[in-house]
């Protein structure tokens, strides 16, 4: 059903709305432009382009930002998009802290804040209010300008059903209805997604997987997970649990290097890594890889990862495997090369293996990419849902 506030297709109001949205999109994509440049790019006459800019100014969506030198006559005024009407918030929610930053449709850089969290005081409303308060204060922006939030969580997320599962790191969060609760409480558009999926979004858009047809991001940290990107779309599965490989049993061959590993989390996660470090007498992975037993540490870690990826390779046969999370990023290119060699030696699959390129705040970067898109949609929706007086061209 058509929104009662939206002009009917084919009417003058509808055409004006389409033209105005196109002009705003151009300003978001290209930066500041003159009225004449907007007219040329949209194929509209100078008078029509001037009316279009005037309407967008009345809505508070564009404003003059400078002047463009002219060959003859006075300099032309340049106009830029005003993004303060619709900002968004990106949040990486962890077990004991969150990271957050304000974003807008122009992808303006704002500070990243870290807020400690206490399990006894956790709730969706409390966590997101803390993120909103801290991030907007650091960015020195009005909290009411934030109209959307993208939240990365260490849990499986059924987007359609608004259901969370495997929520060990989300005390106080309900299994059902967290998204709708936040949307109602704050009046925001709310997106909740798995943290590894968001890290894959970051690698696809600004990281090492920009040229990949499809890829699997293997997250190696306290736990283990995999995100699967097929031609730019993250595969989430029927219940949002796609990629939860940490619960799979460890391969039989893994008993030769770590007989205590019962599943892939034991083999590749914090417990398995700690056993490896204890045996080598190293305080952390970086020390192990650069110490006197560095080659042994690299070989065993690569073997563990190659064994752990067998199921992923057999089912998905990805073009690229990205090693992410603290372990993958610490191992870097040397670990990626060792894993590729081990996979090639032990299986029929020969994927490209690369370390993650988004080494700082990868989950937050992925959330930020989605939040920028939401902020842009909200600005353009402001145009498309506004009707104009047919004779005077004034917003109403």
**Do residues 339 and 355 make contact, with C-beta atoms less than 8 angstroms apart?**
no
Query: Two tokens at 353?
Result: 């293996």
- Whole-number pLDDT of residue 71: 63
CB atoms < 10 A from the CB of 177, how many? 15
212, 320 contact by CB (below 8 A): yes
Judged against a pLDDT cut of 50, whether residue 395 lies above it is answered with no
Quick check: 4 pLDDT over 80? no
Q: Measured in whole angstroms, how far is the alpha carbon of residue 293 from the centre of its chain?
A: 37
∠ CA 21-25-27, rounded to 5° = 120
Predicted confidence (pLDDT) per residue in 30-44, tens digit: 998 989 889 899 888
pLDDT at 73: 61
Question: What's the pLDDT score for residue 44?
Answer: 86
Domains 87-199+361-377 and 210-355 share a fold: yes
Q: Strand locations in 265-346, DSSP E?
A: 320-324
Kind and range of the H or E run holding 64:
strand 62-68
Domain boundaries, the chain: 12-82, 87-199+361-377, 210-355
pLDDT in tens, 73-132: 677 889 999 999 899 999 999 999 999 999 999 999 999 999 999 988 899 999 999 999
- pLDDT (tens digit per residue) in 131-175: 999 999 999 999 999 999 999 999 999 988 999 999 989 999 999
In the CATH hierarchy, which top-level class contains the domain 12-82? mainly alpha
**Which token pair is 190?**
């709310």
pLDDT digits (tens, 9 = 90+) for 272-325: 999 999 999 999 999 999 999 999 999 999 999 999 999 999 999 999 999 999
Per-residue pLDDT, 10: 58
46 falls in which pLDDT band (50, 70, 90)?
confident
Region 218-233 average pLDDT: 95
pLDDT at 72 over 70: no
- Report the alpha-carbon distance of residue 159 to residue 366 in Å, rounded: 17
210-355 maps to which CATH number? 3.30.420.40
Residue 224: its pLDDT value, please? 95
Whose CA is closest to 372, among 83, 67, 5? 83
The pair phi, psi for residue 197, each rounded to 5°, is -60, -40
Which DSSP category does 251 fall into?
A: P
Q: In what order do the strands lie in the sheet with 113-116?
A: 113-116, 97-103, 87-93, 146-153, 189-194
For 110-155, strand residue ranges (E) read: 113-116, 146-153
pLDDT tens digit string along 235-280? 999 999 999 999 999 999 999 999 999 999 999 999 999 999 999 9
Question: For the residues 379-383, what does the mean pLDDT come to?
Answer: 88
**Which residues, in sequence order, are bridge partners of residue 244?**
none
Task: Please answer whether residues 368 and 90 qualify as being in contact, where contact means their C-beta atoms are separated by less than 8 angstroms.
Answer: yes
| CA dist list (Å): 238 to 88, 97, 233, 242, 355 | 28, 29, 15, 8, 29
pLDDT at 390 over 80: no
What CATH number does the domain located at 87-199+361-377 have? 3.30.420.40
What pLDDT is stored for residue 392 in this prediction?
Answer: 42
The pTM of this model reads 0.90
């Amino acid at each position: 059903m058509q929104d009662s506030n939206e002009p009917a297709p084919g009417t003058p109001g509808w055409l004006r709305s389409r033209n105005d949205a196109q002009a705003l999109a151009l300003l978001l994509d290209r930066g500041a432009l003159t009225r004449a440049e907007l007219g040329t790019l949209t194929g509209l006459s100078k008078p029509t382009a001037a009316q279009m800019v005037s309407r967008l100014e009345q809505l508070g969506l564009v404003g003059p930002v400078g002047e463009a030198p002219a060959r003859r006559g006075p300099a032309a005024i340049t106009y830029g998009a005003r993004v303060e009407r619709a900002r968004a918030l990106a949040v990486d929610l962890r077990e004991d802290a969150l990271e957050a930053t304000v974003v807008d449709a122009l992808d303006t850089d704002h500070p990243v804040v870290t807020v400690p969290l206490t399990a006894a005081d956790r709730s969706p409303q409390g966590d997101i209010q803390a993120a909103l308060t801290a991030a907007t204060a650091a960015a020195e922006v009005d909290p009411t300008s934030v109209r959307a939030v993208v939240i990365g969580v260490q849990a499986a997320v059924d987007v359609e059903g608004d259901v969370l599962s495997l929520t060990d790191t989300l005390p106080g969060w309900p299994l059902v209805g967290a998204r709708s609760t936040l949307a109602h409480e704050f009046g925001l558009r709310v997106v909740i997604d798995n943290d590894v999926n968001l890290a894959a979004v970051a690698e696809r858009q600004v990281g090492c997987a920009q040229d990949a047809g499809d890829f699997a991001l293997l997250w190696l940290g306290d736990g283990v997970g995999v995100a699967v990107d097929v031609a730019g779309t993250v595969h989430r599965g029927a219940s949002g649990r796609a990629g939860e490989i940490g619960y799979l049993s460890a391969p039989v061959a893994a008993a030769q290097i770590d007989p205590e590993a019962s599943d892939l989390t034991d083999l590749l996660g914090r417990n398995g890594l700690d056993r490896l470090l204890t045996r080598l007498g190293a305080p952390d992975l970086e020390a192990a890889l650069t110490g006197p037993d560095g080659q042994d540490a690299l070989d065993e870690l690569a073997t563990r990862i190659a064994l752990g990826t067998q199921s992923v390779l057999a089912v998905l046969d990805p073009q690229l495997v990205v090693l992410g999370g603290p372990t993958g990023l610490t191992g870097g290119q040397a670990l990626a090369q060792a894993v590729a060699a081990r996979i090639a030696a032990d299986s029929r699959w020969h994927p490209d293996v690369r370390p993650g390129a988004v080494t700082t705040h990868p989950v937050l970067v992925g959330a930020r990419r989605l939040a920028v898109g939401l902020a842009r949609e909200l600005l353009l929706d402001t145009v498309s849902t506004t009707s104009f007086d047919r004779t005077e061209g004034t917003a109403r």
